[in-house]
Structure 1
Amino acid sequence: MGGIRMLFGCHASIREGYSGAAKAAKAKNASAFQYFPKNPRSLSVKDYDREDAALCKAFCKEHDIFSIAHTPYPTSLTPRPEKQKLTVKSLLNDLEIASVCGSAGVVVHFGNPISSKDPLAGYQLMIEMLNQILSRSKEHCLILLENTAGYPGSMGTTMEELVQVRSLCQHPDRIGFCLDTCHAFASNLWNGDNLNEFLKKGEELGYFDHLKAIHFNNSKFPAGSGKDRHANIFNRGFITEKQFDQLVNAEPFRNLPFILETPSDEGIEDHEEIELLIHRWGMLQ
């Protein structure tokens, strides 16, 4: 009797190029990976190796490997005025690179508040930025909005916000979601014990219809802590194996890639953790 083959992976360096990142992921027995399309600490526009990016796409297609890109750390959808043009150029560059690499999308963190007097200002700027970027981009890959890890009630911690921002943009079909399990736990969106409520709300809002990837991380702090500190899945985290079992087996997640962003220097390396994930959940019935 057959089952569902789950996709597990990790972050991969582009030190040896985009095709090198794909090959490194395969060497770790990963069926999915994430990468920074350029220097993760800069918004500079990269004149990338198009041939190498095309080789990455071909390699992933040949070996049935899923990939997503992640914007550099300084990227914000609510940047200061002097950073807005640079941010638009940088994200257009990220989308182009990811598209040539054959990636499903580019993960972008949800924005931050920009005005204590006007709580809607941050959302309005996000929508303006997304409209600018997507009206100029001709690439097929998506912008994937990621939930944030703030305290409950912080900007970007609810599915309602994510869905609403997407729906108010001029090109909602070009926007999807990436769910970070540590962030969800930190913000009490999913606290390990409210899965049924979480699933019901996500289905009602249509959130799961546009969820494309999972950042699969445990949390070094309890639910509702607001702290973005990732832990390994089976080691030193506050999310239990039983709680992960329930999440992974839930219907909306059974065909999605789970990509680790966990520490590789705390007793377990990426390839070892991927093997544990495959052993535990590699084939669901």
Structure 2
Amino acid sequence: MIFGCHVSIRGGYLSAAKHAKQIGAQAFQYFPKNPRSLSVKEFDLADAKSCRRFCEENGLFSIAHTPYPTSITPPTEKQELNIVSILNDLAIADACGSKGIVVHFGSRISEENPLASYHLMLEMLNSILEKWDGDCLLLLENNAGKQAALGTELEELVQVRNLSQYPAKIGFCLDTCHAFASGMWDGSNTLAFKEKADSLGYTEHLKAIHLNNSMHPHGSRKDRHANIYKGGKILPEQMDGIISAFSDIPFILETPSEYGVSHEEEIRVLKRLELSRPAKTTRKKGE
């Protein structure tokens, strides 16, 4: 299994990758630029390429996360700003060798026309991806359900990908806190949840999982992350269950550090749990 966490790019992209390796991560996520701005960043291409080489040499997996203001259902006056910003994020992440950039599913823009948000999402995605020819994917992330958010059902995410003009350029990122808070997954229905994800074609395009506990109960629609095994409403055995169900997907922590638990400690615990699990055996044909 692959475990990692979100890291800072304060010292540059190569520095972020080195920090991830130093704390024992096998994967990492980063903001490609100022997380509070949609401005286009003139980035250091040499630094980004050095990051790519380091990751290739050390077997590190990475993804990037778009800045907080990013939206694929923005008001008309901000649509071009978001398109240009997301293309900038894709270019940076691609240069760093990252698998994709995470963008949150859109929000409801009209009470009178429920389909308006989906139409706008598709228009935005098509406008972005027709201009993009790199290897980096755009990864749609499920929402927790706050502020009229959509993207709380697997069917929505899969359908938007299917209806886009460029489905091969779109993948998914599953957030466990969001899935729990939205009601999509309650911790005890992991087998049914995984079977549904498989049958819809979601799992085959799932490239990363944000491994987060939730500070609020199932179905609360409140997006507040908790540490994996401390202070969360998702029970340890339920967290272990989701990890086992999606064991071949990289897990990346976005958990808080202000409660005395570091990412390094959590990764160490997760690795120990992996080592303590019984090894899987493969049955030969005819046995």
TM-score (norm 2): 0.94
SS of 2:130's partner is helix
1:279 and 2:272 matched: yes
- In the other structure, the counterpart of 1:240 is 235
1:169 and 2:150 matched: no
Structure 1 residues 130-156: Cα deviation after superposition (integer angstroms, max 9, x where no partner): 0000000111110000000016x9511
Aligned length: 277
Judge conservation of contact 2:106–2:149 (CA < 8 Å) in 1. no
Q: How far, CA to CA, are the matches of 1:194 and 1:23 in structure 2?
A: 38
SS of 1:203's partner is helix
Q: How far, CA to CA, are the matches of 1:97 and 1:254 in structure 2?
A: 28
Q: Return closer, same or farther for 1:121/1:283 CA change in 2, 3 Å cut-off.
A: farther
TM-score (norm 1): 0.95
- In the other structure, the counterpart of 1:3 is none
- In the other structure, the counterpart of 2:284 is none
- In the other structure, the counterpart of 1:122 is 117
Q: What do you get for the CA RMSD once the two structures are aligned?
A: 1.2
1:257 and 2:250 matched: yes
**Deviation of 1:282 (Å):** 5.1
**Deviation of 1:54 (Å):** 0.1
1:100 and 2:95 matched: yes
**Corresponding letter in the other structure for 1:80:** P
Q: Return closer, same or farther for 1:223/1:133 CA change in 2, 3 Å cut-off.
A: same
Runs of 4+ in 1 over 4 A off after TM superposition: none
Q: How far, CA to CA, are the matches of 1:249 and 1:14 in structure 2?
A: 30
Structure 1 residues 105-149: Cα deviation after superposition (integer angstroms, max 9, x where no partner): 000000001111001101110000000000001111100000000
**Corresponding letter in the other structure for 1:42:** S
Judge conservation of contact 1:7–1:282 (CA < 8 Å) in 2. no
Structure 1 residues 69-120: Cα deviation after superposition (integer angstroms, max 9, x where no partner): 0000000000010100010000000000000000000000000011110011
Q: How far, CA to CA, are the matches of 2:38 and 2:159 in structure 1?
A: 27
**Deviation of 1:281 (Å):** 2.1
Q: How far, CA to CA, are the matches of 1:196 and 1:16 in structure 2?
A: 42
**Corresponding letter in the other structure for 2:137:** L
Higher relative contact order (CA 8 A, sep 6+): 1
Structure 1 unaligned blocks of 5 or more: 1-5
Structure 2 unaligned blocks of 5 or more: 280-287
Question: Residue 38 of structure 1: which of 20, 28, 33 is its match?
Answer: 33
More displaced, 168-177 or 191-200?
Answer: 191-200
